[in-house]
């Protein structure tokens, strides 16, 4: 094994990031009125989960590197014409990722105007359609119920103030 795979390197970077996140969570002020669950619990939990997943990525990368076969001999290298479909497939994956980023950016642009409930419903529907879902009554019902569940969870249960939007306030 002459080099470490990208998975191992990314795992190490993420492990370092989770350690730094944990250390920064230590600095969150704790109120004397807090019980066992305080403001630092969720960040520490997220840091722990990230650290665990980073370790799994490192182990997975090391196991793959151990069982990876030797690189092919130069005469066994595919020609540039044979390598072209792989390149086109990678470009298609990158284009698909850019499309998802564009949907996220559109969500952020319409959020102040349409409000959280409508915006999250549109985002979920657009992403599902973009990824190949078929529009149907079941699809629309699922999107509407998920958007309502997110609204109830974040706004009602967790009391997180999310944008109501100009359009819903104007209409209702």
- DSSP secondary structure string, 92-114? HHHHHHHHHHHHHHHHHHHHHHH
Say whether pTM exceeds 0.75. Answer: no
Q: One digit per residue, pLDDT tens: the chain, 172 residues? A: 567 788 889 999 999 999 999 898 888 877 776 666 677 788 888 999 999 999 999 999 888 887 775 555 555 555 555 556 778 888 888 888 899 999 999 999 998 889 889 999 999 999 999 999 999 999 999 999 999 999 888 888 888 888 888 766 666 5
Q: What is the model's pLDDT at position 77?
A: 53
Q: What is the pLDDT of residue 80?
A: 54
**Do the Cβ atoms of 37 and 76 come closer than 8 Å?**
no
Asked if 65 and 4 touch (Cβ cutoff 8 Å), the reply is yes
Measure CA 107 to chain center: 15
Contact 25, 43 (CB under 8 A): yes
- DSSP secondary structure letter of residue 74: G
Q: Compute the distance between CA of residue 79 and CA of residue 87 in angstroms, rounded to an integer.
A: 13
Scanning the structure block, which residue is given the tokens 């014409």? 81
User: Which two structure tokens, joined as six digits, stand for 156?
Assistant: 């009602």
């Amino acid at each position: 094994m002459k080099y470490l795979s990208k998975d191992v390197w990314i795992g190490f970077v993420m492990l370092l990031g989770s350690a730094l996140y944990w250390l920064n969570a230590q600095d969150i002020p704790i109120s004397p009125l807090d019980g066992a669950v305080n403001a630092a619990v969720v960040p520490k939990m997220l840091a722990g989960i990230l650290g665990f997943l980073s370790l799994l990525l490192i182990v997975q990368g090391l196991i793959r590197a151990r069982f990876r076969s030797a690189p092919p001999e130069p005469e066994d290298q595919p020609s540039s014409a044979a390598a072209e479909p792989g390149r086109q497939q990678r470009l298609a994956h990158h284009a698909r990722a850019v499309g998802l980023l564009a949907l996220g950016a559109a969500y952020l642009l319409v959020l102040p105007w349409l409000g959280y409930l409508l915006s999250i419903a549109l985002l979920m529907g657009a992403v599902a359609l973009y990824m190949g879902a078929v529009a149907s009554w079941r699809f629309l019902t699922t999107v509407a119920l998920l958007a309502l569940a997110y609204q109830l969870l974040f706004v009602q249960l967790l009391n997180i103030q999310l944008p109501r939007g100009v359009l819903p306030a104007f209409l209702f």
